[in-house]
């Protein structure tokens, strides 16, 4: 996962661990086939002498989920994530990562405390006026609801992985550069034609929807949820001692800042300070309630159903506990809530009426693609098209009838396959093309991308070597997998 994180670092809040707090829309995974016996309760797998903890898995899952959610413009749901097999993808990734860590241990590689300190010192998220600030570091860590020790342990692993990856990074040869340049910086002169689809060509009737639902019920599942018994503790309504409030503010003033990052005065932050102070006053009552509820000396006063996608509730706390467990007080907007897990509602096939809308969209999309493919294939051998001149990957040319993004998608498709005549389905249209002529870009332009060429070749070689290394390490180290994923 280290290579993935290096390429997509902008999607991480602070290196690796803090992104788990920014986990939008997914909630955390339910454990399904997880084995809760003895030491396995704290890990999803063991590779050699290294355990993969539940927390490490959850962080990795959050990173992957957020990455794909960003790619889809915020449109990734837990159901879609399950359909794409995200859990198993993440499990394989963290196991492969741990195999490399185990190998690093064997060959004597280490990540030192000084290297961790240097990584912290150079992380802009922990800096104030361009310099590492210990108060900022602990504030960010505290707000992220993780321990500094856990964050630094995770950071140490990433440093160790980086060391292994640097060993596997080889300098490109001249022959490799020439081959890469010929494929990367080719320019093609194209004839292009665009075929559109009429709405009447992708009509879906009720019988087709019902038939599809009968055959694919298991693809349309309800969302996993938890039934809870609850006791609510409201914010304290006691009269506030101004001296104690001021002391509370001074101890926590770094939490109250303007949009420019300046610490607000007590007067300006009064509403938030008073609310946090009342939360502090209510915490004792909340803890007493928790103990009584846990000992069955107090009855629940309410119920609550929480779905795994409910970002307003810490669903991850429910993922690894047994039915009947009472959780410690959870802070809410208006106080605290103490909950007991009553039951777990695993996903079930949705009723037809609930799945119908999703199936209709799916079938319409499939019909459009099928109809466009038939029209495009019938016309491919005879179309003339419009000569649009030369295009290249680096040219950024906009093609008439396509948006800039569609033009880029189409051009990349042309250079990613080896057919002189072909077509690409984009949205509700098929773009047909014929390559009329091919040339290499000028040496001047190729020289401009020397660094890019070398980096890409190195990454490709590194990925291939890493993949082969992992295959061999799987034969070298014992892997005990306690959680298989859904």
C-alpha R_g of the chain: 28
Q: What is the mean pLDDT of residues 422-433?
A: 92
**What pLDDT is recorded for position 290?**
95
**pLDDT band for position 24 (cuts 50, 70, 90):** very low
d(Cα 447, Cα 453) in Å, to the nearest integer?
Answer: 9
Q: What is the mean pLDDT of residues 316-339?
A: 91
Q: Which DSSP letter does residue 257 get?
A: B
**What pLDDT is recorded for position 471?**
92
Q: What is the mean pLDDT of residues 60-65?
A: 88
Q: Are 16 and 144 members of one domain?
A: yes
**pLDDT band for position 476 (cuts 50, 70, 90):** very high
List the alpha helices (DSSP H) in 185-224: 206-215
Q: What is the mean pLDDT of residues 438-460?
A: 75
Q: Are 233 and 334 members of one domain?
A: yes
Query: Given 345, 371, 387, which residue is the final one in a domain?
Result: 345
Does 447 map to a domain? no
**pLDDT band for position 445 (cuts 50, 70, 90):** low
Residue where the block lists tokens 């846990």: 294
Does 180 map to a domain? no
Residue 31 reports pLDDT greater than 60: no
Q: Residue 6: count other Cβ atoms within 10 Å of its Cβ.
A: 13
- Does the model's pTM come out above 0.85? no
> What residues contact residue 155 under an 8 Å CB cut-off, 6+ apart?
15, 16, 17, 116, 119, 120
Q: Which DSSP letter does residue 110 get?
A: -
Average pLDDT value for the chain: 83
| CA distances from residue 324 to 229, 294, 303, 338, 469 in whole angstroms, order as listed | 9, 9, 14, 13, 45
- 449 phi/psi in degrees, rounded to 5: -110, 25
**What is the greatest pairwise CA distance in the chain?**
86
**pLDDT band for position 23 (cuts 50, 70, 90):** very low
Residue 130 reports pLDDT greater than 80: yes
**What pLDDT is recorded for position 172?**
84
Does 253 map to a domain? yes
Hey, what are 302's tokens?
């309410």
Q: Are 336 and 377 members of one domain?
A: no
Residue 412 reports pLDDT greater than 50: yes
Q: pLDDT tens digit string along 212-223? A: 988 888 888 888
Q: Are 286 and 391 members of one domain?
A: no
Q: What is the mean pLDDT of residues 6-11?
A: 37
Residue 415 reports pLDDT greater than 90: no
Higher-confidence residue: 433 or 33? 433
Query: Domain limits at 61?
Result: 2-173+455-481
**What pLDDT is recorded for position 198?**
78
Q: Which DSSP letter does residue 221 get?
A: B
Query: Given 283, 311, 345, which residue is the final one in a domain?
Result: 345
Number of domains making up the chain:
3
Q: Are 323 and 339 in contact (CB under 8 A)?
A: no
Q: pLDDT tens digit string along 224-239? A: 899 999 999 999 888 8
Q: Are 374 and 338 members of one domain?
A: no
Find the CATH number of the domain harbouring 34: 1.10.4030.10
Q: Are 357 and 334 members of one domain?
A: no
d(Cα 347, Cα 23) in Å, to the nearest integer?
Answer: 21
Does 396 map to a domain? yes
**What pLDDT is recorded for position 103?**
93
d(Cα 121, Cα 105) in Å, to the nearest integer?
Answer: 25
Residue 486 reports pLDDT greater than 80: no
Dihedral class, residue 483 (left if φ above 0, else alpha if ψ from -120 to 50, else beta):
beta
Residue 403 reports pLDDT greater than 70: yes
Q: Report the range of poorest mean pLDDT among 42-56, 129-143, 176-190, 244-258.
A: 176-190
Q: pLDDT tens digit string along 249-297? A: 998 888 888 877 788 899 999 999 999 999 999 999 999 999 999 999 9
**pLDDT band for position 93 (cuts 50, 70, 90):** very high
Kindly write down the DSSP assignment for every residue of 315-366, as one continuous string. Answer: GGGTTT--TT-BPPPEEETTEEEEEEEEEEE---BPPHHHHHHHHHHHHHHH
Q: Are 416 and 335 members of one domain?
A: no
Q: Are 241 and 286 members of one domain?
A: yes
Q: Can you tell me whether residue 39 is helix, strand or coil?
A: helix
Nearest to 291 by CA among 328, 236, 244, 237: 328
Residue 368 reports pLDDT greater than 70: yes
> What residues contact residue 1 under an 8 Å CB cut-off, 6+ apart?
60, 63, 93, 94, 97
**pLDDT band for position 353 (cuts 50, 70, 90):** very high
Residue 12 reports pLDDT greater than 80: no
Residue where the block lists tokens 């084995």: 35
Q: Are 222 and 347 in contact (CB under 8 A)?
A: yes
**What pLDDT is recorded for position 182?**
66
**pLDDT band for position 40 (cuts 50, 70, 90):** low
| CA distances from residue 338 to 288, 298, 318 in whole angstroms, order as listed | 10, 11, 12
Does 65 map to a domain? yes
Query: Given 320, 345, 370, which residue is the final one in a domain?
Result: 345
Q: Are 168 and 240 members of one domain?
A: no
Q: pLDDT tens digit string along 137-163? A: 888 887 777 788 888 888 999 999 999
Does 382 map to a domain? yes
| Order of all β-strands in the sheet with 479-481 | 50-53, 43-47, 479-481
Q: Are 164 and 21 members of one domain?
A: yes
| CA distances from residue 433 to 10, 405, 407 in whole angstroms, order as listed | 36, 18, 13
> What residues contact residue 222 under an 8 Å CB cut-off, 6+ apart?
345, 347, 348, 349, 350, 354
Q: Which DSSP letter does residue 223 get?
A: P
**pLDDT band for position 311 (cuts 50, 70, 90):** confident
| CA distances from residue 179 to 102, 151, 172, 435 in whole angstroms, order as listed | 35, 43, 11, 20
Express as a percent the part of the chain with pLDDT over 70: 88
Tell me how long the chain is.
486
Does 292 map to a domain? yes
Hey, what are 275's tokens?
């609310």
Kindly write down the DSSP assignment for every residue of 411-459, as one continuous string. Answer: HHHHHHS--SEEEEEETTEEEEEEEEEEEEPPHHHHHHTHHHHHHHHHH
**What pLDDT is recorded for position 230?**
96
Residue 33 reports pLDDT greater than 70: no
- 216 phi/psi in degrees, rounded to 5: -130, 35
C-alpha distance across the termini of the chain, in Å? 20
Q: Are 359 and 308 members of one domain?
A: no
Q: Are 191 and 433 in contact (CB under 8 A)?
A: yes
**What pLDDT is recorded for position 228?**
96
Q: Are 418 and 368 members of one domain?
A: yes
**What pLDDT is recorded for position 27?**
32
């Amino acid at each position: 996962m280290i290579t993935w994180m290096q390429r997509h670092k902008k999607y991480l809040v602070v290196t690796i661990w803090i992104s788990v707090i920014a986990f939008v829309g997914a909630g955390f995974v339910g454990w399904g086939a997880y084995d809760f016996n003895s030491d396995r309760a704290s890990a999803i797998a063991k590779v050699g002498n290294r355990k993969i903890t539940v927390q490490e898995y959850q962080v990795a899952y959050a990173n992957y989920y957020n990455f794909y959610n960003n790619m889809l413009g915020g449109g990734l749901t837990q159901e879609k994530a399950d359909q794409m097999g995200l859990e198993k993808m993440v499990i394989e990734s963290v196991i492969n990562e741990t195999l490399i860590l185990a190998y690093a241990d064997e060959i004597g590689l280490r990540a030192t405390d000084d290297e961790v300190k240097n990584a912290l010192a150079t992380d802009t998220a922990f800096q104030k006026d361009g310099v590492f600030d210990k108060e900022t570091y602990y504030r960010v860590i505290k707000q992220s609801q993780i321990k500094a020790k856990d964050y630094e342990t995770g950071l140490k692993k990433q440093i160790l992985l980086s060391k292994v990856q640097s060993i596997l990074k080889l300098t490109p040869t001249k022959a490799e550069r020439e081959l890469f340049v010929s494929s990367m910086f080719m320019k093609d002169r194209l004839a292009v034609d665009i075929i559109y689809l009429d709405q009447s060509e992708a009509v879906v009737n009720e019988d087709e929807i019902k038939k599809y639902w009968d055959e694919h019920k298991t693809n349309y599942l309800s969302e996993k949820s938890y039934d809870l018994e609850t006791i609510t503790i409201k914010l304290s309504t006691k009269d506030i001692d101004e001296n104690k409030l001021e002391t509370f503010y001074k101890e926590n003033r770094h939490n109250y800042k303007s949009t420019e990052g300046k610490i607000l005065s007590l007067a300006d932050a009064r509403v938030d300070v008073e609310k946090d102070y009342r939360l502090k006053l209510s915490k004792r009552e909340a803890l007493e309630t928790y103990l009584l509820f846990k000992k069955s000396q107090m009855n629940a006063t309410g119920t609550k159903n929480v779905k795994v996608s409910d970002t307003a509730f810490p669903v991850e706390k429910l993922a690894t506990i047994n039915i009947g467990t009472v959780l410690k007080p959870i802070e809410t907007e208006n106080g605290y809530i103490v909950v007991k897990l009553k039951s777990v509602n695993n996903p079930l096939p949705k009723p037809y009426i609930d799945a119908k809308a999703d199936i209709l969209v799916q079938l319409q999309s499939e019909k459009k693609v099928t109809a466009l493919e038939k029209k495009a294939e019938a016309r491919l051998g005879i179309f003339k098209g419009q000569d649009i001149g030369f295009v290249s990957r680096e040219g950024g040319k906009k093609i008439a009838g396509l948006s800039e993004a569609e033009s880029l998608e189409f051009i990349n498709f042309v250079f990613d396959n080896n057919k002189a005549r072909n077509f690409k389905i984009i949205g509700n249209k098929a773009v047909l093309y014929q390559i009329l002529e091919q040339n290499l870009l000028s040496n001047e332009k190729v020289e401009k991308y020397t660094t890019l060429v070398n980096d890409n070749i190195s990454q490709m070689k590194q990925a291939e070597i890493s993949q082969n290394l992992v295959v061999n390490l799987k034969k070298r180290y014992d892997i005990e997998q306690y959680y298989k994923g859904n």
